Amino acid sequence: MRLAWHLQPATIAARIPFGRSRDLWSEVTRVVDAAVLTGATAAGLAAWSLSVSIAPDDGTALAAARWANETGDTAAALRYARAVAAPRPLAVVLEEAGALRAEGLHAQAHGVLAAAETTVREAPRELQLRVLTDRALSAARTPACVDDPEQMLDQAERLLPEDSGARPGPRLEVSLARAELLSIGGRLGELPASLADDFTDPAAPPGLRLWAGIRRAQQSAAAGRFTEAGALASQIRARLSAGLQTDVRNRELLFHHLFFLLIRCGELETALGMTRSTVESGSTGSISGLHTSTGTELPVGLVHAYAGRSDAALESLQPALAQLESHDPDNLIPLAAAAARYCALLKRATDPVMDLPSPLENSVRTDPGMASAVRYFRILASRASQPAATAAELHRYAAEELQAGDVPNALLGFSAAALRGNRASAQELAATAAAADGVPANLYSQLAAGLLTDDIEALIRAAEQALAQRNSLLGHGAARAARILGDGHATRAVVRRARQLEHEGFRALSPLNSVEHGLTQLGDFERDLALQAAAGETSAALGRRFHLSARTVDWHLGRVFARLHVSGRSDLRNALSLLAE
């Protein structure tokens, strides 16, 4: 029986006395075949059993725990799995460990799996494989764990069935577990070459194929092969848009990895669009196969932080920090806090939220890429009043990332240091970008060439590419360098273009810099003058209207344009047209 109103079951159950509820449970369970129940129904039956102090049978508890894990209700999964009396079936133990891992409690998950070691040898081979891979990954995430994850995966490989070529699922699961171990160890260059074939193998399970593609794309991005990484990311997003049947935690991890992959490829606008599409169900291009448990605040805030848009970043990062305090399975608080501190500094604001501690920072081993992102933002936030010292620290950071085989972070650090006047970083930026490919490599090559050879045109091209990717801070910095270099040394058209790009980047950094805000700060005369000029009125016509000379009109317009951060009539007209869209 299914009740139409979703509150009816709870309301009715609450009004039934305990004894009567137990009697009803006894009557119902006599005629219900637990083996044919759906996951949701099994969970309902298990919850009912526990409410009348009766442990659900093993089959019902397993189905209920599995369904709870699939739907993201880890608390219920733990409740159902732990209700089974010892010795518990290995499948039930795996569901408990899965719920703990989904909550970021890897040490507890490892303890649960280690305690079941005596029953593993007698279990079916499929369950043995799952125990070994899950235990290896839990051990890898647990600091100072005594288990050797590599050794466990070696054992798992020896258990692979001989027909794994025809059924690639088990082999691919072990291969992906090894890829995760390498990722945690910062050894993306050692990922198995077979991942490329696994991504295109139609016989492999769809979810595992996506993970193979993500790992391969991460490897390509780390090596500076941005064209290949971007193409793989596009294919993965296309497959996700077509729909993916998998559990909530898996969709959350897919989003997490794909988002940071796009960030590393410099595709800030794409990462922002993907984030918004995950919650806009039914929207054009929405990606129904993704999920983010903490909402869009953190990823949106990080995109704006990387782009230097401090106001927009803080607007999202502050609520994200509050959410992460209560639920942070992936240990993202250090990154959110570091980005927020940097943005608060950019905004010249002090906020007690920025001083939040990072309680989970050392409790779980995270991927080196995450720790590198935290370090990057902390460097930017630490020595704002000492640009030379900040540049030196950024140079050291980038050099260490390059030595570790992480090209995206090296480019990020060298470019930030180069724009702060560190010439050695500009030289390293040129060499690193020359060894990479794709849009980021071209952008950083143009930036390095402009800074090293005083090439104004190269700096302008770098600014244009950065602003096209909505990297406001990088675009503004490159355009500003071009404008300073061009003053007195370049044609008026070149200087005007540099100034136009500098204004465009500056306006994007904060709402307070926008034309919309600037217009509200003007008097009626100045606002009317600016709007009429943007509409195409000449200075002579405006002079006749306001009873001024054309030269006086131009003087007033020059002041107005400076306050609006535009370079002239056409720039103001373009900015106003964007507001109208």
- Contact residues for 523 (Cβ-Cβ < 8 A; gap 6+): none
Is 472 part of a structural domain of the chain?
Answer: no
Report yes or no: 316 and 342 within 8 Å, Cβ to Cβ: no
**What is the rounded end-to-end Cα distance, in angstroms, of the chain?**
52
**Residue after which a domain boundary falls, among 245, 272, 293:** 293
Is 202 part of a structural domain of the chain?
Answer: yes
Is 204 part of a structural domain of the chain?
Answer: yes
3-state class of 33 per DSSP? coil
Q: Which of 463, 435, 439, 441 is nearest to 451 (CA)?
A: 463
| Residue 328 DSSP code | -
Whole-number Å distance between alpha carbons of 472 and 21: 62
Report yes or no: 106 and 141 within 8 Å, Cβ to Cβ: yes
The set of long-range contacts for 527-535, using a CB threshold of 8 Å and a minimum separation of 24, is 529/553, 529/556, 529/557, 529/560, 530/557, 530/560, 530/561, 530/564, 530/572, 531/576, 533/557, 533/569, 533/572, 534/569, 534/572, 534/573, 534/576, 535/573
- Contact residues for 95 (Cβ-Cβ < 8 A; gap 6+): 62, 65, 66, 69, 77, 80, 81
In which element (H, E) is residue 408 found? helix 407-418
SS in 3 state form for 330-371? CCCHHHHHHHHHHHHHHCCCCCHHHHCCCCCCCCCCCCHHHH
The number of domains in the chain is: 2
Which residues, in sequence order, are bridge partners of residue 437? 225
Is 544 part of a structural domain of the chain?
Answer: yes
And the tokens for 188?
Answer: 């993306």
Give ∠ CA 236-238-239 in degrees, rounded to 5: 65
Report yes or no: 62 and 34 within 8 Å, Cβ to Cβ: no
- pLDDT at res. 120: 78
Which residues, in sequence order, are bridge partners of residue 225? 437
Question: Residue 241 class from Cβ within 10 Å (0-12 exposed, 13-18 middle, 19+ buried)?
Answer: middle
Largest pairwise CA distance in the chain: 98
Which domain CATH number covers 553? Answer: 1.10.10.10
Whole-number Å distance between alpha carbons of 448 and 441: 10
* Positions in the chain whose pLDDT score sits under 70: 1-14, 18, 163-167, 279-294, 349-364, 383-385, 578-581
**Position of tokens 């992480």?**
406
**Residue after which a domain boundary falls, among 246, 266, 293:** 293
Q: Which of 487, 482, 463 is nearest to 473 (CA)?
A: 463
Is 376 part of a structural domain of the chain?
Answer: no
* Domain encompassing residue 242: 167-293
**120-144 as b/e: b if 16+ CB within 10 A:** beebeeebbbbbbbbbbbbbbbbee
Is 232 part of a structural domain of the chain?
Answer: yes
pTM summary value: 0.88
- Contact residues for 446 (Cβ-Cβ < 8 A; gap 6+): 458, 459, 461, 462, 465
- pLDDT at res. 94: 95
Report yes or no: 135 and 128 within 8 Å, Cβ to Cβ: no
**Residue after which a domain boundary falls, among 293, 313, 346:** 293
SS in 3 state form for 418-466? HCCCCHHHHHHHHHHHHCCEHHHHHHHHHHHHHHHHCCHHHHHHHHHHH
The model's pLDDT over 402-443, given as tens digits with 9 standing for 90+, comes to: 999 999 999 999 999 999 999 999 999 999 999 999 999 999
The model's pLDDT over 157-167, given as tens digits with 9 standing for 90+, comes to: 998 877 545 55
- pLDDT at res. 28: 84
Is 57 part of a structural domain of the chain?
Answer: no
Whole-number Å distance between alpha carbons of 382 and 373: 14
Report yes or no: 307 and 266 within 8 Å, Cβ to Cβ: no
- pLDDT at res. 359: 40
Is 364 part of a structural domain of the chain?
Answer: no
